[in-house]
Structure 1
Amino acid sequence: MRTLQGYRYALDLTPRQERAILQHAGAARFAFNWSLARVVAVMGQRAAERSYGIPDAELTPAISWSYPAMRRAWNAAKATAAPWWPECSKEAYNTGLEALARALKNWSDSRLGKRRDRPMGFPRYKSRHRTAPSVRYTTGPIRIEPDRRHVVLPRLGRLKLHESARKLARRLEAGTARILSAAVRRNGGRWYVSVCVEVERAERAPARPRSVVGIDVGITNLAVLSTGEVVANPRHLQRSLQRLRTLGRGMSRKSGPAWAAGRPPSNRWRRARGRLAAAHARVANLRRDGLHKLTSRLARTHGTIVVEDLNVAGMLSNRRLARHIADAGFAPLRRQLTYKTEWNGGRLIVADRWYPSSKTCSGCGAVKTKLTLSERTYACEACGLRLDRDLNAARNLAALAAAAVSTAGSGPVSGRGADRKTPNLGQVAVKRQPGTAQAGKTGTVPLQGGPPSHTFEEVGETGLIRV
């Protein structure tokens, strides 16, 4: 199986090498701003001509926003626009032009309704005071040195790695990997190089191929598995808030920048900002490390993993829980499980967003009409089952694995009661999915707290999947 994989290493740069990288990052920023100014000028000219009543056929010709067209325009004008252009690699200018072409396409697709993600605004000019310096290389000598402690990049030469690159070097020596590109970026006061590699991965199988596990993520506990395992939420941001606030107050007391007045920041303010950035980077690294360890263990152990399709962007609109949700990292956990299950020969099943996993009894299938967030213990009024709310939801998710057999390739699996809102009155005709109490029968399961109005039809083999 061939796939793309990234390797990220910290760099130990000399002052001369750091200045060279900053020069290349500045060249990328210059090319971005130059091309953006050209686009804005043409757009403004055409808008002005329309306001004068000039027909569309006689307007100033529009320019292409594609990356190849921007490269041709830059190559034609670079001798006058940037006489110093030979001092940097061509990849530096290509980095800025490619970023602008991608930003303009995202903005255009967002306006035309072709983009499903959040709306994108029009690109803004890049400033060296607000933009993280970065440069990407796609051609030229990009290799790992035989000592596995250095990486070679075009025009920058031999850069020392903070740690050994033996894992990547072994793949390259064995011929099972091919370097496609490398990007250098500064984050949290440190420089990193990210190497994008096309890897030939061997076929693997999980340690327990027949095992099915449902995962219910939350804030109190990061993940509760249907096996009964509880993964505590480390709350890295919450534990570091006091230090972050102290560092932020310290930076606010220093003489900061006032670029409109032509006043640069003081050296003490720069050092304070570096300390604050390093503290934020540490929190992000701790969160990333914990999520990678958890998802790797689950993907290597279980053959089938069932998760919920959470609307994380919508959940972040809750001002009381937004910080805790972002600190937990629901979206990275789902993203990592997606590709790691594929790497390890397992499968990932995504439950429908409207499937009431928390409201449904994992024993008899009865659905509660209302379940507040403060109710941490699920109490079924139909069969008397009492258990932890998150464990009950995880078991319901695990029970959906059998339903995925009949809906393979059709998208998220809709379980019982997966209508947009759990109703208080009336009948909702839905199929009774695996995980119900009575097998091979058609019966009526009541809504808890209301009349017995839900009629379900049993299909296939039923019963709670034990893992």
Structure 2
Amino acid sequence: MKRYEPPADWSIQAYKFALDPSDAQVLGLRRNTGAARFAYNHMLRRISAVQAQRAAEASYGVPEADLTPWQGWSLPDLRRTWNEIKQWVAPWWAACSKEAFNTGLANLSAALGNWHAWRTGTRKGRRMGWPRPKRKHARRSARFTTGAIRVDPGYRHVVLPRLGRIRTHESTRKLARRVQAGTAQILSATVSETAGRWCCSFQVAVQRTLGRPTHAPEAGRVVGVDAGVKHLAVLSTGELVPNPKPFNAALQKLGKAQRRAAQRIGPYDPKARRKRTTSNRWQRAQATVTRLHATVATVRADSWHQLTTRLAQQFDTVVAEDLHVAGMLRNRTLARSLTDAAPATLRRHLGCKTRWYSSILHVADRWYPSSKTCSACKTVKLKLSLAERTYHCTTCGLSLDRDVNAARNLADLVRHVDLELPGDATTGRGAYGRPVRPAPAGRAAGRETSRPAHPVNAGRQRTAADRESHFTH
């Protein structure tokens, strides 16, 4: 069957609904998610065994042509092998949807592909190790791409393959009306369990009408956003967005729940070095810990969604920083607070929502000295420690909160640069630009200052074409 390809002008969006399944439907959900885990683990063990067997045969001098046939890890190869062996390794396979097994095989293919890409140097970033087997009590999920996948016209049920009609906790009216109007097409559905709550997430191709909200201010407004820890974000307008700090608020309850779970009989005994049957009291205590973590994640996500939606609707241009959060987490003093604030979420959310509301997102260079630069006279300080929460300029005498000063510098970064965005971006419809780092006034010895020019380019005047080449859209 030919895969559905949405039109080029449609965007991909997710609609997530909490499910209210019956006891029989919960068993069906667990059966299908367990099938995905089983297929993943079995094929991983098979690939590992084949790899070890080939290495042993090669050590004995067996020719390459006589080695055990290699098991490919592309999705078609995994599917072909699974269909050949499933009647022996999983005689119960007919009780589950074929999409459940395909979920595990697709995840395994992606994991092995990432490992191989890192080994060959084609994938950058942190080290990708050999995939590990999925645990039985880990997060359960399964993805459906074919079959009966739809939203019930009554706005209170969803229909999934082999699971049937499942009631939802909330209305599905937003998605159902789009599907009925022909402006949305459901591509897939993913069921998952988090803290005992089952959810269904639809991947939908949406035809979105680009335009500014009716309540949006006048055009041409620019805002700089400085993400932080003390405040969730500081705007160039002077607004300080409070940080709910959900993990810090739940820390006392979380510590008490974890101590209670540690006193129960869990799945692993450190002294016996073996697995054992878990007690019901441990499972209840562990469920409490999971619910607290889920609440923290939900509060954090809600605070970022509210802020980024408001910024994309009320401003024409939003300027954010390219933060190296992984490097910032190496500071053990700020690691917990940074994880609780999740500052990298700002740019990810704005990247989508600025396209939805016809605004423009610009990402400042990672080494642009927004905190060290004076927003009035543009003088750059040599050093500025984290303890200095107020910026004092020795040149013009400006005294301002350092986060507000950084946000104003981010906003000025776009106001003083002549942007020529190609194509549809000239109308401000969701352009994604990365301005070049301007040379600071004064030579500073900090890491956030501009780097010296290359000897080949030394003394050459910058043209409009050079400025345009530094933008990535």
TM-score range, shorter chain: 0.7 to 0.9
Tell me what 2:470 maps to. none
Structural mapping, 1:28-47, within 5 Å? 28-47=36-55
- Alignment match of 1:247 (pick from 246, 252, 257): 257
Report if the CA contact (8 A) 2:227-2:234 is conserved: yes
Tell me what 1:89 maps to. 97
- Alignment match of 2:347 (pick from 334, 357, 363): 334
Tell me what 2:201 maps to. 194
**Structure 2 SS opposite 1:216:** strand
Tell which deviates more after alignment, 384-393 or 115-124.
115-124
1:415 to partner: Cα distance: 2.8
The one-letter code matched in structure 2 to 1:240 is A
Report if the CA contact (8 A) 1:355-1:417 is conserved: no
Tell me what 2:125 maps to. 117
The one-letter code matched in structure 1 to 2:58 is R
Structural mapping, 1:66-465, within 5 Å? 66-129=74-137, 131-205=138-212, 207-208=216-217, 209-258=219-268, 261=274, 263-402=276-415, 405-406=418-419, 412-417=434-439, 422-423=444-445
Report if the CA contact (8 A) 2:229-2:341 is conserved: yes
The one-letter code matched in structure 2 to 1:389 is R
Encode CA deviations 1:399-419: one digit per residue, 9 max, x unaligned: 111355347589632333479
C-alpha distance 75-400 of structure 1, shift in aligned 2 (>3 A) = same
Tell me what 1:436 maps to. none
TM-score, structure 2 normalization: 0.87
Give the Cα–Cα distance (whole angstroms) in 2 for the partners of residues 41 and 378 of structure 1: 61
The one-letter code matched in structure 2 to 1:323 is R
**Structure 2 SS opposite 1:228:** coil
**Structure 1 SS opposite 2:54:** helix
Report if the CA contact (8 A) 2:440-2:450 is conserved: no
Encode CA deviations 1:183-233: one digit per residue, 9 max, x unaligned: 111001211111111100011126243100001111111111111111011
Give the Cα–Cα distance (whole angstroms) in 1 for the partners of residues 446 and 84 of structure 2: 68
- More strand as a share of residues: 1
Encode CA deviations 1:9-36: one digit per residue, 9 max, x unaligned: 1111111111111111111111111211
Of all paired residues, the percent bearing the same amino acid is 50
1:324 to partner: Cα distance: 0.4
Report if the CA contact (8 A) 2:18-2:197 is conserved: yes
Give the Cα–Cα distance (whole angstroms) in 2 for the partners of residues 68 and 360 of structure 1: 55
**Structure 1 SS opposite 2:244:** coil
1:422 to partner: Cα distance: 4.0
Give the Cα–Cα distance (whole angstroms) in 2 for the partners of residues 284 and 377 of structure 1: 31
Tell me what 2:3 maps to. none
Tell which deviates more after alignment, 326-335 or 292-301.
326-335
**Structure 2 SS opposite 1:401:** helix
Encode CA deviations 1:325-373: one digit per residue, 9 max, x unaligned: 0111111121001110011101100000000000011111111000011
The one-letter code matched in structure 1 to 2:105 is L
Give the Cα–Cα distance (whole angstroms) in 2 for the partners of residues 236 and 289 of structure 1: 11
Give the Cα–Cα distance (whole angstroms) in 2 for the partners of residues 30 and 62 of structure 1: 21
1:58 to partner: Cα distance: 4.3
Give the Cα–Cα distance (whole angstroms) in 2 for the partners of residues 429 and 336 of structure 1: 30
Report if the CA contact (8 A) 1:367-1:417 is conserved: no
Give the Cα–Cα distance (whole angstroms) in 1 for the partners of residues 446 and 18 of structure 2: 56
Tell which deviates more after alignment, 235-244 or 110-119.
110-119
Give the Cα–Cα distance (whole angstroms) in 2 for the partners of residues 347 and 428 of structure 1: 25
Tell me what 1:14 maps to. 22
Tell which deviates more after alignment, 260-269 or 353-362.
260-269
TM-score, structure 1 normalization: 0.88
**Structure 2 SS opposite 1:368:** coil
The one-letter code matched in structure 2 to 1:180 is L
Gaps of 5+ in 1: 432-454, 461-467
Runs of 4+ with deviation above 4 angstroms: 259-262, 406-411, 427-431, 457-460
- RMSD across aligned positions (CA): 2.5
Give the Cα–Cα distance (whole angstroms) in 2 for the partners of residues 428 and 252 of structure 1: 51
Report if the CA contact (8 A) 1:403-1:413 is conserved: no
Encode CA deviations 1:27-51: one digit per residue, 9 max, x unaligned: 1111111211121111112222232
The one-letter code matched in structure 1 to 2:355 is E
Aligned length: 433
**Structure 2 SS opposite 1:152:** strand
Encode CA deviations 1:300-335: one digit per residue, 9 max, x unaligned: 110000011000111111111111001111111210
The one-letter code matched in structure 2 to 1:402 is R
Report if the CA contact (8 A) 1:360-1:396 is conserved: yes
